[in-house]
Amino acid sequence: MGKRIRRALVAAAMTSMWLPLLSDTAPAAEGRDERDTYVNDAGRVEYEVHLPPGYGHGERLPVLVALHGCGMTGFRINSMKDMTRLNEVADARNFIVVYPSQDPLRNLRRCWNGIQPQHQHRGGGEPSLIAGATRAVIERYGADAERVHIAGASSGAGLAVVMAVTYPDVYASAASLAGGEYAFHTVQPDPDAVSPVDTAKLAYAEMGPRARQVPLLIEQGDADTTTPPWMAERLASQWAVLDDLAPDGVLDGDVDDTPDTTQRVDGPGDRPYIRTRYTARDGGPTLIEKYVVEGLGHKWPGGSGPNADPLGPDMSVLLWDFFAKQRLT
């Protein structure tokens, strides 16, 4: 065998030895982003859709709609996307994320207007825009309509709760992070004069024939002065009453606001938090899951940017762990 042939064979063998090593160190596949606009009589809403690497492989993927807080956007500067890092979770867990952005013509501070009565009803205002955009995403990307969820921060949390009440046939579950109850405008003048039972009855009436128990995750910082902790307590109480009413319209204590389990979690590098879960009187799946994070202000725990607290818990992961168990029934 000639020297040149031997050298060529050695070079080929060395190259083949390196190929597995190169493939092992190759970066993981990333998803992609697409933008669109939904328009109806209530106005318009721009949104960005994040598609994970697993999209397009024949599986109908779940969807998470994420609503930003005041002063933020869905996907541009100071965005919900960057704050939550939900795209990373979506790429790892294989779901679609939708980031709507508030139109400054509806609110100069870019707050969602779910606190206003005209934006608390099905078929109009911001609820119709968010539901319309959600349905457009389901149709365009062939998503799983039984596994669509909605979460929000601050004013976005208030609108997420509104969406769970106005469109319980669209969203399998919801999450409120530093937000308030449905019809909170009735509470503001004097919280002692309006009980969570009163606002739960308003929510039940709005659900109408679509009434169902919508699983809800609540997150609250105990040092939050913008959305004080009593608002999360009221929301949990309101939702327990709504869960009691939803099956039969009767307030008979089938679900109450006494936690079924309470656990304090103190992980390394994380802020400690209290996790409580609420189920029906006869047991069954969790209907309400509440996190109260110790020492946390009006920030997204475990996120990045000016509206986040870099300390955990990683709420984006906990959020999806909750949503992944839910589907429309």
Q: Domains of the chain: which residue ranges? A: 28-217+225-248+315-323
Per-residue model confidence (pLDDT) at position 140 = 98
Going by pLDDT thresholds of 50, 70 and 90, the confidence category of residue 322 is: very high
Per-residue model confidence (pLDDT) at position 297 = 98
What six digits make up the tokens of 160? 């997420």
Going by pLDDT thresholds of 50, 70 and 90, the confidence category of residue 28 is: low
DSSP annotation of 13 reads H
Per-residue model confidence (pLDDT) at position 21 = 35
- Give percent above pLDDT 70 in the chain: 91
Residue reference for tokens 């092992």: 24
195, with CB counted inside 10 A (0-12, 13-18, 19+), is middle
pLDDT in tens, 157-170: 999 999 999 999 99
Going by pLDDT thresholds of 50, 70 and 90, the confidence category of residue 216 is: very high
Asked whether 229 and 220 are in contact (CB, 8 A), the reply is: yes
pLDDT in tens, 291-312: 999 999 999 999 999 999 999 8
Please, what is the average pLDDT of the chain?
92
CA 89 to chain centre: 12
Per-residue model confidence (pLDDT) at position 30 = 82
What architecture is the 28-217+225-248+315-323 domain classified under in CATH? Answer: 3-Layer(aba) Sandwich (3.40)
Going by pLDDT thresholds of 50, 70 and 90, the confidence category of residue 82 is: very high
- pTM for this entry: 0.91
Length of the chain: 329
Per-residue model confidence (pLDDT) at position 329 = 78
Per-residue model confidence (pLDDT) at position 12 = 38
**71 dihedral zone (left: phi>0; alpha: psi -120 to 50; beta):** left
Going by pLDDT thresholds of 50, 70 and 90, the confidence category of residue 76 is: very high
Going by pLDDT thresholds of 50, 70 and 90, the confidence category of residue 29 is: confident
Residue type at position 27: P
Q: How far is CA 297 from CA 167, 196, 224, in A?
A: 30, 24, 4
